[in-house]
Chain A
């Protein structure tokens, strides 16, 4: 059974760094790519970046200067770090599995992040 679970702090102060972990089960990180997608409160979905199955990374150009994605295959975990957070970074952050052709066939339950002082 494919599962993805996001974890991390619910509250981050402005200008600080957000660190999130996506723990996966039911599939291998060396066989599938994992994406990070975020959703500002009450708004739509934004693709943030990906950890490819071969270890390569790609980022949304709008976030590239602030974003870093890495992984630990031995722990089945993918990590997201984003610095210089502002209030408009508040929202829910999801990790998803890319089956192929950009099909996001499994999603985590989401990590709610509030940026506030």
Chain B
């Protein structure tokens, strides 16, 4: 199975700051999906097929990458972006998740 490693595990960002979260796969995958999970809530699809924003996701978010290296970028951090973000691959069975990056507001 493909192991996904996210970094950093935890980080804090100030409002307006640019943020980049990374996800590395143990083998090449065709695309990556990302989920946002706020405290006490269910995960929500955030970015799919590497770079497509899910419905309602602000365009300050973007996704990129290929092969074994993927990233999620927030162009300008806002208060509501504080959450845990998980990457997930579905191109190789079984689907697997990264361990998550907890993004806090500084």
Residue positions of A touching B, CB distance < 8 A? 35, 44-47, 58, 60-61, 94, 98-99, 101-110
Contacts and interface: CB of A to CB of B under 8 A. Distances in A.
Interface in B59-106: 86, 88-91, 93-100
A45 B97 contact: yes
A44 B101 CA distance: 10
Contacts of A109: 42
Contact of A101 (B54, B90, B98, B99): B90
Interface size class of B (residues with CB under 8 A): 20 to 34
B60 to A, nearest CB: 21
A103 B33 contact: yes
Interface of B: 1, 31, 33, 35, 42-45, 48-49, 54, 86, 88-91, 93-100
A110 B44 CA distance: 12
B interface, by DSSP: helix, strand, loop or mixed?
Answer: loop
Given A44-B97, A45-B97, A46-B97, A103 B42 contact: no
Given A45-B35, A101-B90, 9 more contacts: A60-B94, A98-B90, A101-B31, A101-B49, A102-B33, A103-B33, A103-B49, A104-B43, A107-B43
Contacts of B96: 47
A57 B31 CA distance: 24
A99 B52 CA distance: 14
B41 to A, nearest CB: 8
A35 B97 contact: no
